[in-house]
Amino acid sequence: MPHQLPNLPYDHAALEPHIDAQTMQIHHSKHHQAYVNGLNAAEEALRAAMEKGDAKAVVKATAALNFHGGGHANHSLFWTIMGPKTGGEPGGDLGAAIKDAFGGFANFKTVFETQATGIQGSGWAWLCWEPTTKSVVIATTANQDNPVKTGLVPLAGIDVWEHAYYLKYQNRRPDYIKAWWNVVAWEKVGQNFQQARG
Interface residues with Mn ion (CB under 5 A) are: 159, 161
How many CA atoms lie within 13 Å of 6's alpha carbon, on the beta-carbon side? 13
Least distance CB 130 / Mn ion (angstroms): 25
Between CA 72 and CA 39 the distance in angstroms is 8
Between CA 122 and CA 126 the distance in angstroms is 14
By beta-carbon proximity to Mn ion, the closer residue of 73 and 128 is: 73
Least distance CB 29 / Mn ion (angstroms): 12
Strand pairing class (135-142; 153-159): unpaired
Least distance CB 78 / Mn ion (angstroms): 7
By beta-carbon proximity to Mn ion, the closer residue of 39 and 46 is: 39
By beta-carbon proximity to Mn ion, the closer residue of 27 and 188 is: 27
By beta-carbon proximity to Mn ion, the closer residue of 161 and 186 is: 161
Least distance CB 71 / Mn ion (angstroms): 7
Least distance CB 124 / Mn ion (angstroms): 9
By beta-carbon proximity to Mn ion, the closer residue of 30 and 52 is: 30
Give Cα separations from 15 to 30, 70, 78, 80, 82 (angstroms).
18, 24, 13, 12, 8
Residue of closest CB approach to Mn ion: 159
Are the CB atoms for 149 and 187 separated by under 8 Å? no
Beta strands in 31-147 (DSSP E): 123-130, 135-142
